[in-house]
């Protein structure tokens, strides 16, 4: 192990300061009493109160959450199927096209995805609203889910499935009783990824949404285009807070589980014959 | 039979909602603008049978693409997007590499925490992270306030609504994409390689240059593509931080569609953007594949 | 190698034409693309046998096993189980169970649930499942670990869980893919005897895949030595050891000195002339071909000085002494001593 040189220490502290200072400043200013976002006028939580009285924001938040739950659930089902096909189905007609369609949306500029989906919806005469946003979000986030799940499936010991079949399972049973419980963490993180992608998305939602279905990012975007607003600061703080709690909890739980597993294994080896 | 359902459901979904829409974009890019609903002609009238298809192909032309070459707004926007993407990628690499390198130098028990700190912004809203800079870079933003107070400047600098702000925004939002692949390449690096290099007469710097850098090349390439590709079509950052002076193609497409309602032009802009992107995307895929093969 | 002597001579259904084989491979060929994994194989395996497939990696032994389990289908030929063609029967319907090399224990299920897994698929009543699982736990001495997860027990215990799980459904045939490969040497030897014990108690037919010749010789009633998709020799361990039918088999089984020479039969003995001006070697019935004789280090004593009572068979240059476990002496005399 090499020592941490002064150069490493400096680049780490500057780097993390760069990553976190803007968000910390945003959070601090959300508690600013002044309407002028750049002048500190004492601590206050009034912007949070304003936020919760703002019907338009609350409506948009509700639409966003509904869209995110629906689209991430569909995306998880379709994405897991796609991952299984990619890793397990072997050769079939059109496999190259299939894997191309899985990977392409990951690097596709959002403006193009959004535009093309909108033209489709108009072409088939589908009214833009919650349904179209869910369809659009499902399409691009299923690709992310399938990447997450397939990277887990690649390392999955295939003999577990064979053992299940050997012990009398049909292929469906072996998926339900063995594969799914084991890859569940990857499926769950795929769902969470799809959920956040849907919560965050501005560009595709702007193309796919109608006047009656404004999502929170669209609302935020139209508000901040006019400049910095303390209400948006408050909203951002809440969102950052939720994500931070989620990510920190998840990583602590993962670490605990890993440590426990290691201890169990060591204990078992010591206690072995 | 089960296998058929398993394959065909996601396949059909992607065909209908990914491939068909593209075909429509290409089709509309070959149409002309008209003031109607939908605002382009000809429309493919499948109900008209063969005659409808023939009529459609007679109406198809490359007029929209000719228009794109005649108005210098478009090629300037493409060039400027390319320039911004290249420079921003280089800056992100310069900022991200030392961070990734530093992360592999800390004690192993701290690494997961640092990794989590790099991933955390990734889960927070992109829009909010860009927005955070608006308050910092503005005329009366924190940077100007600090510089004025320190007496470095007398007049507030204009940073927001300039290309500089766009660069800052891109580097900030895409930094995790650069750090993660480089970190995972560097983490695999065996420390004894560096010790061997020094043992064989390298200075610390030459050891880095001859051993660490080449062995982290795959991470650098992957990270650069992950920053470059989405930056090229970026919309949110130039729109919030770049002001009217920064020309980027994602923004042009958005405005053609939403403000000018010129669907054929917006579609043609998308088609050309995609053609530009195909090269880096293929290179990126190939790099990934090579790496997967190397790792067996 | 001393265990070879402890063969049970009574059990030999392959010599009895009245016995019906449990498994029959009839001209089975398996190809993967251009690669021929199994080449026109015909072999019978009998009930209660402990049959070992022995060979280097890539010789086709795992493919044979996977065809029996139903995970691969033969390209040509037939596999019969109890006289019935099993080609169309999927793995989950075969009365064949397999113990996987990696054990393939379900990490999310406890030891008890792992063993009960196959029984639950048979939709047995709960009491019957309980009873059978407990029986299996007793048989493999795992009763006190029933509630643990696979990662909470040691490697040897995991191996026994895998065995118990595959035996729980009382299969006609149990396939064991390198069952002892993941264990360290000491544990492996103990477990070998345990396996033989369990096989005898349950009366199940075992087919074991291994690349460890010592293991195969210890546990098996018959050993099939395989090379590139072909069975080179199928015989009892004693015959394989003492009368290998080819250089390949001789070289694969144990340490061996191979001496080239010309063989001549004199009554029931063979006289091998192997070097000019040297006395011929008289050997007993265990010789292999006309030109090659094998000479096991364990069968001879090595003597640094010429022993007085017996004529030396071969004089050699003393190179090194290698301990081969119970028989102590190994003398490298692969290059005979003409020059010495």
What interface predicted TM-score (ipTM) does this complex get? 0.88
Q: What pLDDT does C267 receive?
A: 63
Confidence of residue B71 (pLDDT cuts 50, 70, 90): confident
C-alpha span between B84 and B251 (Å, rounded): 13
Decide: C208 and C98 in contact? Cβ < 8 Å: no
For residue B98, the distance in angstroms to the closest alpha carbon of chain A comes to 6
Number of domains chain B is built from: 1
Taking 90 as the threshold, does the pLDDT of residue C74 lie above it? yes
Residue C196 covered by a domain: yes
Per-residue model confidence as pLDDT tens digits over C218-261: 889 999 999 888 888 999 988 888 778 887 888 887 766 666 66
The verdict on A223 touching B (C-beta cutoff 8 Å) is: no
Check pLDDT > 60 for residue C299. Answer: no
> Do both C50 and C180 map to the same domain?
yes
How far apart, in whole angstroms, are the C-alpha atoms of residue B163 and residue B231?
A: 13
Neighboring chain C residues of A183 at a CB cutoff of 8 Å = none
Q: CA C202 to CA B147: how far, in whole Å?
A: 86
Q: Do B124 and A18 touch (CB under 8 A)?
A: no
Strand partners, C50: C206
Query: Domain range spanning residue C282?
Result: 255-339
SS3 track for chain A: CCCCCHHHHHHHHHHHHHHHHHHHHHHHHHCECCCCCCCCCCECCHHHHHHHHCHHHHHHHHHHHHHHHHHHHHHHHHHHHHHHHHHHCCCCCCHHHHHHHHHHHHHCCHHHHHHHHHHHHHHCCCCCCHHHHHHHHHHHHHHHHHHHHHHHHHCCCHHHHHHHHHCCCCHHHHHHHHHHHHHHHHHHHHHHHHHHHHHHCCHHHHHHCCCCCCCHHHHHHHHHCCCCCHHHHHHHHHHHHHHHHHHHHHHHHHHHHHHHHHHHHHHHHHHCC
pLDDT of residue C307: 42
Domain for residue B259, yes or no? yes
Q: How far apart are CA A41 and CA A34, in angstroms?
A: 5
Q: What is the 3-state secondary structure (H, E, C) of C170-235?
A: CCCEEEEECCCCCCCHHHHHHHHHHHHHHHHHHCCEEEEEECCHHHHHHHCCEEEEEECCEEEEEE
Predicted local distance difference test score (pLDDT) of residue C266: 64
The Cβ of residue C203 has, within 10 Å, a number of other Cβ atoms equal to 9
- Tell me what pLDDT residue C282 has: 56
Whether C217 and C270 map to the same domain: the answer is no
Q: How many domains does chain C have?
A: 2
With CB atoms and an 8 Å threshold, state whether A111 touches B235: yes
User: Does A162 contact C71 at a Cβ distance shorter than 8 Å?
Assistant: yes
User: Which pLDDT does position B45 carry in this prediction?
Assistant: 55
* Interface present between C and B (3 or more CB pairs within 8 Å): no
Q: Which chains touch A (3 or more CB pairs under 8 A)?
A: B, C
Residue A189 in this model has a pLDDT that exceeds 80: yes
In terms of DSSP bridges, do strands C292-295 and C84-85 run parallel, antiparallel, or are they unpaired? Answer: unpaired
Cis peptide, bond prior to residue B82, ω within 30 of zero: no
In a domain, C299, yes or no: yes
Q: C185-202 vs C155-167: helix axis angle to the nearest 10?
A: 20
Pairwise pLDDT comparison (B250 vs C277), residue with the higher score: B250
Contact assessment for residue C129 and residue C70, using Cβ atoms and an 8 Å cutoff: no
- B210-229 burial string, b = 16+ CB within 10 Å, else e? ebbeebbebbbbbbbbbbbb
The reply to whether residue C157 touches residue A268, judged by beta carbons under 8 angstroms, is yes
C285 touches chain A (CB under 8 A): no
Alpha-carbon gap, residue C254 to C272, rounded angstroms: 22
Q: What are the sequence ranges of the domains in chain A?
A: 55-229
Residues C215 and C71 reside in one and the same domain = yes
Domain extent, residue B163, equals 71-295
Across all residues in chain A, what is the average pLDDT?
89
Judged against a pLDDT cut of 80, whether residue B42 lies above it is answered with: no
Taking residues C30-56, report their average pLDDT: 91
Question: For chain C, which chains pass the contact test of at least 3 CB pairs under 8 Å?
Answer: A
A272 CB neighbours in chain C (<8 A) are 153-157
Q: What angle do CA A217, B74, A107 make, to 5 degrees?
A: 50
Query: How confident is the model over A203-249, as pLDDT tens digits?
Result: 999 999 988 788 999 999 998 888 788 888 899 999 999 989 988 89
Task: Please give the C-alpha separations between residue C153 and each of B87, B178, C114, in angstroms, as whole numbers.
Answer: 55, 41, 13
**Å from A54 to nearest chain B CA?**
19
Tokens of C62: 């795992």
Cβ proximity of A217 and A209 under 8 Å = no
What is the CATH architecture assignment of A55-229? Orthogonal Bundle (1.10)
Interval C148-165: pLDDT, tens: 999 999 888 999 999 999
Interface touch B175/A240, C-beta < 8 Å: no
Residues above pLDDT 70, as percent of chain A? 97
What three-state secondary structure class fits B197? helix
* Residue A250 confidence (pLDDT): 87
Residues C189 and C260 in one domain: no
Q: Is residue B25 part of a domain?
A: no
**Over 60: is that where the pLDDT of C337 sits?**
no
Which residue in B7, B112, B273 is closest to A112 by CB distance? B273
pLDDT of residue C334: 39
Residue C50 and residue C189 in one domain: yes
Q: What angle do CA B18, B19, B22 make, to 5 degrees?
A: 95
Which residues does residue A32 pair with via DSSP β-bridges, in sequence order? A43
Single out the residue of C215, C117, C216 nearest to residue C162, CA to CA: C117
The beta-carbon neighbor of C104 closest among A159, A177, A268 is A159
The pLDDT of residue B123 is above 90? no
Distance CA B75, CA B88 (A): 20
Alpha-carbon span C131 to C115, nearest angstrom: 12
- In eight-state DSSP terms, residue C314 is -
Question: Are C282 and C307 in the same domain?
Answer: yes
Percent of chain C with pLDDT over 90: 35
Both C235 and C329 in a single domain? no
The answer to the question of residue C58 being in a domain is yes
pLDDT range class, residue B138, cuts 50, 70, 90? confident
Report d(CA A168, CA C166) in Å as an integer. 11
Q: A1 falls in which pLDDT band (50, 70, 90)? A: very low
C279 near A CB under 8 A: no
What's the gap in Å between the CA of A273 and the closest CA on chain B? 32
Say how many C-beta atoms besides its own lie within 10 A of residue C306's C-beta: 9
Q: Please tell me if residue A226 touches chain B, with a CB cutoff of 8 Å.
A: no
- Nearest Cα residue to C121 out of B94, A64, A164: A164
- The pLDDT assigned to B34 comes to 62
Domain boundary among C242, C277, C300: C242
Q: Residue B212 carries which DSSP code? A: I
The CA distance from A152 to A145, in Å, is: 11
Which of A163, A185, A257, A266 to probe the C interface (max C CBs under 10 A)? A163
Asked whether C311 and C279 are in contact (CB, 8 A), the reply is yes
CB B275 within 8 A of CB B232: no
How many CA atoms lie less than 13 Å away from B184 in the CB half-sphere?
A: 13
Residues A197, A141: Cα–Cα separation, whole Å:
7
Q: What is the mean pLDDT of residues A89-117?
A: 88
In the predicted structure, residue B177 carries a pLDDT above the cut 80: yes
Identify the weakest region by mean pLDDT among B96-105, B124-133, B223-232, B253-262.
B253-262
User: Looking at residue B250, which CATH number applies to its domain?
Assistant: 1.10.3720.10
Region A55-80: mean pLDDT is 94
Query: Are the Cβ atoms of A236 and B230 closer than 8 angstroms?
Result: no
Rounded distance between C-alpha atoms, residue C196 and residue C208, angstroms: 11
Mean pLDDT over C272-294 rounds to 53
| Pairwise CA distance, residues B51 & B40, whole Å | 19
Of the candidates A144, A140, A99, the residue with the CA atom closest to the CA atom of residue B285? A99
Please say which residue of C242, C274, C297 terminates a domain. C242
Could B14 and A139 be called an inter-chain contact, meaning their C-beta atoms sit closer than 8 Å?
yes
Whether A and C touch, i.e. at least 3 CB pairs below 8 A, reads as yes
**pLDDT the model gives residue C111:** 95
Phi, psi of C260 (to 5 degrees): -85, 140
Do B36 and B43 meet the contact criterion of CB atoms below 8 Å apart?
Answer: no
In a domain, B26, yes or no: no
pLDDT of residue B39: 66
Residue A143 has pLDDT above 90, yes or no: yes
With respect to residue B210, please indicate whether it lies within any of the assigned structural domains. Answer: yes
B96, closest residue in chain A (CA to CA): A15
Which residue carries 């065996």 as its tokens?
A: B190
Strands C84-85 and C76-81: antiparallel
| Residue C172 touches partner A, C-beta closer than 8 Å | no
Q: Do B14 and A244 touch (CB under 8 A)?
A: no
Instruction: Select the residue from A157, A158, A168 to test the C interface by mutation, using most C Cβ atoms within 10 A.
Output: A168
Chain A hits for B175, Cβ within 8 Å: 15, 18-19
Contacts 24+ apart (CB under 8 A), B156-160: B160/B134, B160/B241, B160/B243
In this predicted model, what pLDDT tens digit does every residue of C1-40 receive, in sequence order?
A: 444 444 445 688 888 888 889 999 999 999 998 899 999 9
Residue for token digits 């030459």?
B206
Pairwise CB contact (< 8 Å): B141 & A38: yes
What is the rounded average pLDDT of the residues B255-263?
85
Query: How would you classify the pairing of strands C96-99 and C173-177?
Result: parallel
Chosen for mutation from C72, C153, C209 (greatest number of chain A CBs closer than 10 Å) is C153
- What is the Cα–Cα distance from B192 to A105, expressed in whole angstroms? 40
C positions 94-153 inside 8 Å of A (CB): 96-98, 100-102, 104, 106-108, 117-118, 121-122, 148-149, 151-153
Q: For chain C, what is the mean pLDDT?
A: 78
Q: Is residue B54 part of a domain?
A: no
Contacts with B3 from chain A: Cβ below 8 Å: 89
Which H or E run contains C38? strand C35-45
How many of the other CB atoms lie within 10 Å of CB of B145? 15
- Minimal Cα distance from A193: which residue of B? B123
Residues of chain B found within 8 Å of residue A247, distances taken between Cβ atoms: 116, 119-120, 123
Whether residues C212 and C323 share a domain: the answer is no
Number of cross-chain residue pairs from A and B with Cβ atoms under 8 Å apart: 231
Does the pLDDT at position C310 exceed 50? no
Binary contact (C98, A273; C-beta < 8 A)? no
Q: Which residues of B touch A11 (CB under 8 A)?
A: 98-99, 101-102
The helix (H) or strand (E) run that includes residue C257 is strand C257-260
pLDDT in tens, A168-178: 999 889 999 99
Give the helix ranges, DSSP H, for chain B: 2-14, 20-29, 49-59, 63-70, 72-105, 111-123, 126-137, 142-150, 163-187, 191-199, 204-207, 213-215, 217-232, 236-237, 249-258, 263-295
Contact C102 A159 (CB under 8 A): yes
Q: Identify the band that residue C52 occupies on the pLDDT scale cut at 50, 70 and 90.
A: very high
**Are C91 and C183 part of one and the same domain?**
yes
CB contact under 8 A, A165 and C100: no
Taking the Cβ of residue A180 and every Cβ of chain C, the question of whether any pair is shorter than 8 Å is answered with no
pLDDT confidence bin for B140, thresholds 50/70/90: confident
pLDDT number for residue B47:
56
CA proximity to C111, closest of C138, C84, C77? C138
Provide the angle, in degrees to the nearest 10, between the axes of the packed helices A130-154 and A95-107: 110
Percent of residues in chain C assigned helix, strand, coil, to nearest 5: 30, 25, 45
Is position C198 within any domain? yes
**Looking at the complex, does the CB of residue A160 fall below 8 Å from at least one CB of chain C?**
yes
* DSSP 8-state secondary structure symbol assigned to residue C92: G
Of B15, B132, B236, the CB nearest to A26: B132
Q: Show residues of chain B in contact with A196, CB under 8 Å.
A: 123
Q: What is the model's pLDDT at position B52?
A: 58
Is there a contact between A166 and C91 (Cβ–Cβ < 8 Å)?
Answer: yes
Q: Determine the Cα–Cα distance for residues A154 and A84; give it in Å rounded to an integer.
A: 10
Q: Does A238 lie at the interface with B, CB-CB under 8 angstroms? A: no
For residue C186, what is the domain's CATH number?
3.40.50.300
Predicted local distance difference test score (pLDDT) of residue B63: 74
Is residue C161 one of the residues assigned to a domain?
A: no
Same domain, C178 and C80: yes
Residue in C92, C117, C154 nearest the CB of A269: C154
User: Residues B75-121: pLDDT tens digits?
Assistant: 889 999 999 999 999 999 999 999 999 999 888 888 888 999 998 88
Is the Cβ pair A272, C155 closer than 8 Å?
yes
Place of tokens 């979000």: A137
Q: What is the mean pLDDT of residues B116-143?
A: 88
Q: What percent of chain A has pLDDT over 90?
A: 51
> Is the bond preceding B42 in cis, omega lying within 30 degrees of 0?
yes
Tell me the two tokens of residue B208: 């880095």
Residue with tokens 């016995």: C19
């Amino acid at each position: 192990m090499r020592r941490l040189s002064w150069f490493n220490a400096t680049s780490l502290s500057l780097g993390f300061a760069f990553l976190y200072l803007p968000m910390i400043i945003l959070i601090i200013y959300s508690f600013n009493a002044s309407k002028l976002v750049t002048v500190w006028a004492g601590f206050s939580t009034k912007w949070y109160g304003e936020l919760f009285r703002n019907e338009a924001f609350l409506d948009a938040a509700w639409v966003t959450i509904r869209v995110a739950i629906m689209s991430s659930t569909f995306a998880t089902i379709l994405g897991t199927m796609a991952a299984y096909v990619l890793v397990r189905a072997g050769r079939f007609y059109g496999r190259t096209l299939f894997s191309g369609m899985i990977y392409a949306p990951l690097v596709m500029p959002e403006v193009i995805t959004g535009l093309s989906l909108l033209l489709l919806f108009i072409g088939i005469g589908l009214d833009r609203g919650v349904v179209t946003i869910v369809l659009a979000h499902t399409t691009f986030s299923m690709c992310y889910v399938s990447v997450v799940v397939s990277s887990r499936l690649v390392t999955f010991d295939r003999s577990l499935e064979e053992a299940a079949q050997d012990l009398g399972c049909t292929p469906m049973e072996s998926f339900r009783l063995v594969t799914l419980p084991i890859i569940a963490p990857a499926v769950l993180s795929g769902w969470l990824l799809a959920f956040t992608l849907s919560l965050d998305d501005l560009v595709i939602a702007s193309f796919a949404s109608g006047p009656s279905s404004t999502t929170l990012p669209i609302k935020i975007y139209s508000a901040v285009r006019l400049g910095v607003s303390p209400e948006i600061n408050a909203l951002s703080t809440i969102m950052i807070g939720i994500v931070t709690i989620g990510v920190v909890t998840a990583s602590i739980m993962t670490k605990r589980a890993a440590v426990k597993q290691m201890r169990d294994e060591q204990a078992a080896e010591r206690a072995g014959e | 039979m089960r296998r058929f359902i398993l394959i065909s459901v996601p396949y059909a979904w992607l065909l209908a909602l990914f491939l068909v829409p593209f075909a429509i974009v290409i089709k509309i890019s070959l149409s002309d603008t008209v003031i109607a609903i939908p605002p382009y002609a000809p429309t493919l009238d499948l109900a008209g049978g063969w005659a409808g298809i023939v009529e459609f192909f007679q109406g198809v032309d490359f007029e929209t693409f000719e228009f794109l070459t005649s108005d210098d707004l478009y090629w300037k926007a493409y060039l400027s997007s390319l320039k911004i993407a290249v420079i921003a990628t280089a800056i992100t690499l310069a900022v991200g590499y030392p961070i990734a390198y530093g992360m592999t130098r800390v004690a192993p028990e701290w690494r997961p925490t640092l990794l989590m700190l790099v991933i955390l912004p990734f889960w927070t809203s992109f829009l909010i992270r860009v927005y955070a800079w608006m308050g910092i870079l503005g005329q009366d933003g924190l940077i100007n306030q600090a510089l004025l107070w320190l007496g470095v400047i007398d007049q507030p600098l204009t940073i927001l609504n300039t290309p500089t702000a766009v660069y800052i925004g891109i580097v900030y939002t895409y930094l995790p994409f650069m750090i993660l692949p480089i970190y995972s390449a560097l983490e695999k690096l065996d420390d004894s390689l560096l010790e061997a290099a020094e043992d064989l007469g390298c200075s610390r710097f030459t050891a880095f240059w001859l051993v660490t850098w080449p062995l982290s090349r795959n991470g650098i390439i992957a990270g650069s593509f992950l920053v470059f590709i989405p930056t090229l079509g970026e919309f949110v950052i130039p729109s919030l931080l770049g002001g009217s002076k920064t020309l980027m193609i994602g923004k042009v497409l958005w405005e053609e569609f939403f403000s000018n309602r010129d669907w054929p032009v917006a579609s043609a802009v998308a088609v050309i953007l995609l053609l530009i992107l195909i090269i880096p995307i293929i290179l990126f895929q190939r790099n990934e594949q090579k790496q997967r093969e190397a790792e067996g | 190698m001393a265990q070879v002597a402890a063969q049970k001579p009574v059990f030999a259904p392959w010599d009895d034409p009245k016995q019906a084989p449990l498994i029959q491979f009839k001209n089975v060929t398996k190809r993967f693309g251009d690669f021929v994994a199994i080449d026109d194989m015909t072999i019978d395996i009998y009930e209660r046998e402990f049959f070992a497939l022995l060979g280097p990696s890539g010789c086709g032994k795992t493919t044979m096993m996977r065809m029996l389990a139903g995970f691969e289908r033969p390209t040509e030929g037939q596999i019969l189980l109890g006289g019935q063609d099993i080609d169309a029967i999927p793995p989950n319907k075969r009365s064949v169970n397999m113990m996987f090399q990696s054990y393939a224990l379900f990490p999310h299920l406890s030891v008890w649930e792992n063993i009960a897994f196959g029984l639950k698929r048979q939709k047995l009543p709960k009491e019957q499942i309980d009873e059978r699982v407990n029986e299996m736990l007793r048989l493999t001495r795992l009763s006190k670990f029933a509630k643990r997860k696979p990662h909470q027990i040691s490697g040897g215990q995991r191996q026994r869980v895998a065995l118990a799980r595959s035996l729980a459904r009382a299969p006609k045939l149990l396939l064991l893919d390198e069952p002892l490969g993941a264990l360290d040497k000491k544990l492996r030897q103990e477990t070998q005897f345990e396996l033989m014990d369990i096989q005898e108690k349950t009366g199940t037919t075992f087919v074991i895949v291994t690349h460890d010749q010592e293991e195969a010789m210890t546990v098996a009633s018959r050993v099939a030595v395989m090379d590139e998709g072909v069975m080179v020799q199928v015989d009892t361990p004693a015959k394989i050891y003492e009368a290998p039918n080819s250089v390949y088999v001789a070289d694969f089984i144990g340490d061996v000195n191979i001496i080239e020479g010309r063989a001549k039969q004199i009554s029931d003995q063979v006289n091998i002339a192997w070097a000019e001006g040297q006395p011929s070697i008289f050997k007993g019935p265990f010789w292999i071909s006309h030109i090659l004789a094998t000479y096991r280090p364990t069968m001879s004593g090595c003597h640094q000085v010429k022993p007085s009572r017996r004529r030396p068979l071969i004089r050699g240059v003393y190179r090194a002494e290698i301990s081969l476990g119970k028989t102590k002496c190994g003398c490298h005399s692969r290059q005979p001593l003409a020059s010495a």
